[in-house]
Amino acid sequence: MEDFLAISECSTDELTGLLEESRSLKALYKAGQRDLCLAGKTLAMLFEKPSLRTRISFQVAMTDLGGSPIYVKPEDIGGIGKREPVKDIARVLSRYVHGIMARTFEHRTVIDLAKYADVPVINALTDWSHPCQAMADVLTIVEHFDRIEGITIAYIGDGNNVARSLAFAAGKLGMKLVVASPPGYELDSASMETANHFAPGCVTQLDDPRAAVADADVIYTDTWVSMGQEDEKEKRRKEFAGFEVNADLVAAAPKHVKIMHCLPAYRGFEISDEVTESPNSIVFDQAENRLHFQRALLRKLMS
């Protein structure tokens, strides 16, 4: 593995290896010990989109491994690919740092960074894919269920980058994903076909949230209004009516069901405050596991 751009590009062995390494490094971290395998190495963190979890988790992970993270704000580079071509940014940074993490709008940006960089490139989010989040989610599921294979996730809401990455994870790791979306917001057919190519029948699409959660081990949701879509807020609120993860929907699922959300959560929109704060919620375990998965990923790619 040279880069980490999308789960669909990774083998099952690579993904399971990263999960095992995540659990090992998390145990080390909880014991107050550190693995300084990246001492003397530097990670450039490029941001087109701001983020609390992405920035802090990568920065802490890199520091905990003995390395040095450098936060690069959008204004520092005038927009990736705007003031200067992505291929030039990639080649210049390759002369300065040992790895590049990018949180961008277009997925093409991270593809081009990886193509022209001589150092590992990590996709920390694009509009098409959010692989670090999905793998932190799988790590969280393993911790709560002690298994991956056979787990059923009901994803309720917009068929976005998170849903797509979870679909690829399901196909690679033996899970099932049921996506329930209102018309026009379904997971795209190409991504469904890719996931089901890995494991036939692992991903299905419905328009009924209650049917989707009937056999779920996990109910997962994400914002209905992603960054850059703020002008669609009221339109989406109307079109997603009936898709809020609330107490009534959770009651239609098995009692053992866990609730997941990648945050930030807009309580009262896609998820209720009651459900977020319920004993079934493992939302903040997910948030923590961004740190532990990314530590393992940095170690794998940069040590």
- Provide the pairing of β-strand 203-206 with 218-221: unpaired
What's the chain's Rg over C-alpha atoms?
19
Q: Is 302 annotated as a binding residue?
A: no
246 annotated to bind ligand: no
Out of 53, 98, 103, 164, the active site residue is 103
Which of 53, 98, 130, 164 does the annotation list as catalytic? 130
CA distance 114 to 124: 13
Q: Look up residue 277 and give its DSSP letter.
A: T
**Has 103 been labeled as part of a binding site?**
yes
Does 10 show up as a binding residue in the annotation? no
Question: Is 290 annotated in the active site?
Answer: yes
User: Annotation-wise, does 177 bind a ligand?
Assistant: no
Tell me, yes or no, if 285 is annotated catalytic: no
The phi, psi pair for 273, rounded to 5°, reads -60, -40
Of the candidates 262, 286, 292, 295, the residue annotated as catalytic is 262
164 is in an annotated binding site: no
The catalytic residue among 53, 59, 98, 133 is: 133
Token pair in block for residue 190: 């190409």
262 is in an annotated binding site: yes
Question: What is the DSSP secondary structure assignment for residue 8, as one 8-state letter?
Answer: G
Scored b (16 or more CB within 10 A) or e, 102-140 reads bbbbebebbbbbbebbebbbbbbbbbbbbbbbbbbbbbb
103 is catalytic: yes
197 annotated as ligand-binding: no
Angle at 252 between CA 248 and CA 257, to 5 degrees: 105
Spell out the residues 6+ positions from residue 61 whose beta carbon is closer than 8 angstroms to its own. Answer: 291, 294, 295, 298
Q: Does residue 130 carry a catalytic annotation?
A: yes
Residue from 59, 222, 236, 261 carrying the catalytic annotation: 222
Annotated binding site: which residue ranges?
Answer: 103, 130-133, 161, 222, 226-227, 262-263, 290
Binding-site members for carbamoyl phosphate are 103, 130-133, 262-263, 290
Binding site as annotated, residues for L-ornithine: 161, 222, 226-227
Residues annotated as catalytic (active site), given as ranges? 103, 130, 133, 222, 262, 290
